[in-house]
Amino acid sequence: GAGVSQSPSNKVTEKGKDVELRCDPISGHTALYWYRQRLGQGLEFLIYFQGNSAPDKSGLPSDRFSAERTGESVSTLTIQRTQQEDSAVYLCASSADYLSTDTQYFGPGTRLTVL
């Protein structure tokens, strides 16, 4: 079956512009996560959705970051007034809450470069 997909795969933007990153989870997965990976580092948790609600937004680094999820499927991560420090790979993952291991399966990521 299809895995997690993300678009765009690469995004280059100018400082101060807004960007939207999209994630399509695995069909039937109710849980969706966003992570950020800076160059040469591990993944940092940003936000978690269970269905359409976001019970854990603790990782969002500032109020310039927001995310929404509609219809228990697609999610969009929005970064407003981008800064150079926002340059990173943004990874989305999904998991099925009806399994005991809640393994998260990742998409290929969106590489964001802020000039």
Partner 1 sequence: AQKITQTQPGMFVQEKEAVTLDCTYDTSDQSYGLFWYKQPSSGEMIFLIYQGSYDEQNATEGRYSLNFQKARKSANLVISASQLGDSAMYFCAMREGRPNFGNEKLTFGTGTRLTIIP
Residues found near partner 1 in the complex (CB under 8 A): 31, 33, 35, 41-45, 48, 50, 55-56, 58-59, 89, 91, 93, 95, 97-109, 111
Q: CB-wise, 31 or 74, nearer to partner 1?
A: 31
User: What is the rounded distance in angstroms from the CA atom of residue 68 to the CA atom of residue 55?
Assistant: 12
Q: CB-wise, 1 or 14, nearer to partner 1?
A: 1
Residue among 50, 36, 38 at smallest CA distance from 92: 36
Write down the least CB distance from residue 81 to partner 1, Å: 26
Write down the least CB distance from residue 27 to partner 1, Å: 17
Task: Please state whether beta strands 75-79 and 53-56 pair in parallel, antiparallel, or not at all (unpaired).
Answer: unpaired
- Dihedral, CA atoms, 89, 18, 9, 22, nearest 10 degrees? 100
Write down the least CB distance from residue 67 to partner 1, Å: 14
Q: Is the peptide bond before 8 cis (omega within 30 degrees of 0)?
A: yes
User: What is the rounded distance in angstroms from the CA atom of residue 32 to the CA atom of residue 92?
Assistant: 7
Q: CB-wise, 59 or 66, nearer to partner 1?
A: 59
Q: CB-wise, 35 or 65, nearer to partner 1?
A: 35
